[in-house]
Amino acid sequence: MLAQLSKGEAHVSDLAKPFLKEMSLPAITKHLKVLEAADLITKTRDAQWRSCKINGTPLKDATDWIEQYRTFWEESFDRLDDYLKTIQSKKKKKGKNHG
C-alpha cells in the first residue's frame, strides 16, 4: 500500500483491490488505520470517497535511522573480512614453512 501511495494519492478502494483475495475488507481497513496511527498516511474524505496520501517525513526519519545502522554494519563486516584475510594469510604462511 505504501508503494502504491508513493506514486500519488489513491482511494481506499483502489488500495484494497490488490489485497482482496488474501485479506478481508475489514482487515485492510484495520491496516490503513495502523498506517494512519503511525502517521505514515493521511486519510481524507470527499463525500463518499476516502482517499489516502503518504506522509514522507516519518519514512525519511526511519530511512535515516536505518542508514546509520547500515553504515555501522557495513564497516563491521569490512573489518571482519580484513581480519579473516589476515588469519588465512597467516595459515598459508605457516603451512608453507612446515611443508
Clarify whether residues 80 and 68 are in a common domain.
Answer: yes
Clarify whether residues 8 and 30 are in a common domain.
Answer: yes
- pLDDT value at 46 more than 80: no
First to last CA, the chain: 63
Clarify whether residues 6 and 33 are in a common domain.
Answer: yes
Structural domain including 12 reads 2-54
- Put simply, whether the predicted model's pTM sits higher than 0.75 gets the answer no
Report the candidate in 26, 24, 19 with the shortest Cα–Cα distance to residue 4.
19
pLDDT tens by residue, 18-36: 999 999 989 999 999 999 9
Clarify whether residues 50 and 93 are in a common domain.
Answer: no
Question: pLDDT value at position 98?
Answer: 62
Clarify whether residues 49 and 61 are in a common domain.
Answer: no
Q: Total structural domains in the chain?
A: 2
